[in-house]
Chains A and B, each alone.
Chain A
Amino acid sequence: MGRLDKWFEARTRAIARGTSRRGFLAGASAALLGTAAVPLLPVARVQAAMPTDGDATSCDYWRYCAIDGFLCGCCGGSPSSCPPGTVVSAVTWVGTCRNPNDNKDYIISYNDCCGRSSCGRCACQRDEGDMPLYRTDAANDINWCAGSTADIAYNCSTAVIMGVSTGE
């Protein structure tokens, strides 16, 4: 590799480290997942389509701060819906993301969509607050389709708003 290439490599890596929360090459670890018990809590819920407060097909969209997987918004679903023919994982894990539009922290449930091959589009790994496998409450490496009726066939990951975090 030439000296010029080396210099650009160092620059590119430095830029990537400094400017991207999701990190350079993060998408390469596309296999991954996340999940949270589907809405069992007694709060008002809506069925939301593609959100309008940001680009839900971009890994930089605020709800994806702790995600690790293929974005359902690129796969026939949305951040809060699964693509046709799939099923929503029964259990999942949650993250907390700051919404830059109202500056509030929201609890986000990263339910996986299951029952088809991996979508393969819009791989996104952000990993904020991600914990090792034994911390199942916060482990996005786990294939959470394991708890679904479709078993471990993983298709894509959602990012469903559960509510505003109280910071507890």
Chain B
Amino acid sequence: MKKQAGYSIVLTAGLLLCATPLAADDLPAETPYVETMPEGPRDHWVALGDLNPLGSPDTRVVLFDADKGEMLGLLSTGYWSGLSYFPRGRSDIVTLETYFEKGTRGKRTDYAVIYDGKTLLPLHEIEIPPRRMTALTQTRMADLTDDGRFLAVTNFTPAQSVSIVDLAEHRFVGEVATPGCGQIYPVSARSFGILCGDGSLRIMTLDDAGQVATQAEGEPFFDAFKDPVLVPAARWGAAWLFVSMDGMIHEVAAENDVAKLRATWSLITDRERKDRWRTGGVQPLAIHEATSKLYALMRQGGPETYEEPAEEVWVYDLKTHAKIDTIPLTNLTLAINVSRDDKPLLNAAALKTVVPYWSLALVSILGNKFADFDVVKPALDIYDAHTGHHLRTIDHAANFATSVTQP
């Protein structure tokens, strides 16, 4: 003990010597401050929805600058959310949040929260019915009308309904029963579709006060039992593109506020289908409107692998339905999105294997078991959407990201 104490004295003295500043090189004293979000275009911001499954009361929206590969900040969204919405033409950010009075028990309160896009401070916390739906696939649980005025939120108790929130007047408007129908797909300034279990898209239109003015049932556009479509679809103008479990694309557009099937085509050839190619991940489709390109996360495997991470992105010309490119992914990927600008980025919520693959092969050969989470960490991969070149990987981007959102 005495010897250790002696070392400590020597060490402390050494540290003091080192800490003594040289007058000529003094660094200026600093005052801590709080950053604000950067000015300028937000096209290359990326918001990862982090479900944080090992800390479910503490889900997050993690914001990144995809060009710089830097984290900008985060929003805490409470229990099982990670959902964020960016009204077009405005700087504020809308989230859905849930809190239990005592962490995981006690009174539940749900909110739609409007954040200042500059300070990331909450401007308005609008209480909504504590019934919003939670699931692994979070991408269509709610959305804004195109004019940014109203937010529609899916509820599940398991009775189904939709809550309407007025973001201009900062108030909950009302709740509409939607038996058999749930997920939200905006189609115009004041209308959105709700996906129904009978294979149809019901179009709901709101009046200026946010009350439901009309509801139009559509014809079923797919068979929910023979070849169901996936919930995470991609928007293309007035249409939504849904992909089925068997790789069929259904283009559904709202015409005079009624959903109409515009086209059906296959993402994969018969040969590729035989080789068990299918979409993968939990947000498998993305569209770049200006170039009419569809990006699809693809993997090989049986139907039970349809939500497992994907290895490639296949690119299609939406006008000809032709496959025009294949982008091999740097890391296995669960969710993609493409920025809207003319230098688009393909943003990918990925799972990066953080040890060399040969070591995994060796471990497997030796018969040792390892859990997947032991060797993979969520990362955000950024690609040039035109060329498919991998630009950068942002490590440790989230605890478990299941959605990629952009302003």
By a beta-carbon cutoff of 8 Å, the part of chain A in contact with chain B is: 4-5, 8-9, 11-13, 15, 17, 21, 23-33, 68, 91, 115-118, 120, 123, 125-136, 139, 141-144, 146-147, 150-154
Contact = CB atoms under 8 A, between A and B. Distances in A.
B134 A133 contact: no
Contacts of B117: none
B258 interface: no
Contacts of B197: 134-136
A133 B57 CA distance: 22
B311 A152 contact: no
Interface of B: 51, 53-57, 79-80, 98, 100, 103-105, 108, 130, 133-137, 156-158, 180-183, 195-197, 224-225, 228-231, 282, 300-301, 304-309, 311, 332, 334, 351, 356-358, 360-361, 364, 371-373, 376, 378, 400, 402
B308 A116 contact: no
A153 B100 contact: yes
B300 A17 contact: yes
B104 A12 contact: no
Contacts of B311: 13
Which 8 pairs between the two chains have the least Cβ-Cβ distance?
A9-B357, A8-B358, A153-B104, A141-B136, A27-B372, A143-B134, A8-B357, A31-B53
Contact of A31 (B180, B361, B364, B400): B400
A37 to B, nearest CB: 10
A41 to B, nearest CB: 19
Contacts of A130: 304, 306-307
A133 B137 contact: yes
Contact of A26 (B54, B308, B360): B308
A68 B305 CA distance: 12
A123 B180 CA distance: 30
Given A26-B308, A130-B304, A133-B182, A8 B56 contact: no
A28 B357 contact: no
Contacts of B231: 132-134
A14 B156 CA distance: 39
B356 A15 contact: no
Contact of A152 (B134, B225, B300, B373): B134
Nearest to A129: B304
Given A31-B53, A116-B104, A141 B137 contact: yes
A66 to B, nearest CB: 8
Given A31-B402, A135-B197, A25 B79 contact: no
Contacts of A28: 309, 334, 351, 372-373, 376, 378, 400
A31 to B, nearest CB: 4
Contacts, number: 170
A146 B158 contact: yes
Given A28-B309, A134-B182, A134-B195, 11 more contacts: A15-B364, A28-B351, A29-B136, A29-B307, A31-B402, A115-B105, A116-B104, A123-B373, A129-B304, A136-B197, A142-B134
Contact of A12 (B57, B135, B351, B357): B357
9 contacts: A28-B372, A31-B51, A120-B53, A134-B195, A134-B228, A141-B307, A142-B156, A143-B133, A150-B105
B219 to A, nearest CB: 16
Contacts of B158: 91, 136, 144, 146-147
B351 to A, nearest CB: 5
A125 B312 CA distance: 21
A61 to B, nearest CB: 14
A23 B358 CA distance: 19
A56 to B, nearest CB: 16
Contact of A127 (B56, B98, B105, B304): B304
Nearest to B282: A29
Contacts of B181: 134
A33 to B, nearest CB: 7
A15 B133 CA distance: 37
Contacts of A135: 197, 224-225, 228
A13 B402 CA distance: 21
Contacts of B183: 133-134
Nearest to A131: B228
Highest count of chain A CB atoms <10 Å: which of B136, B229, B282, B378: B136
B61 to A, nearest CB: 16
A145 to B, nearest CB: 8
A119 to B, nearest CB: 9
B396 to A, nearest CB: 14
Given A26-B308, A146-B134, A8 B371 contact: no
Contacts of A5: 356-358
B54 A120 contact: yes
A17 to B, nearest CB: 6
A84 B69 CA distance: 44
B224 A127 contact: no
B62 to A, nearest CB: 16
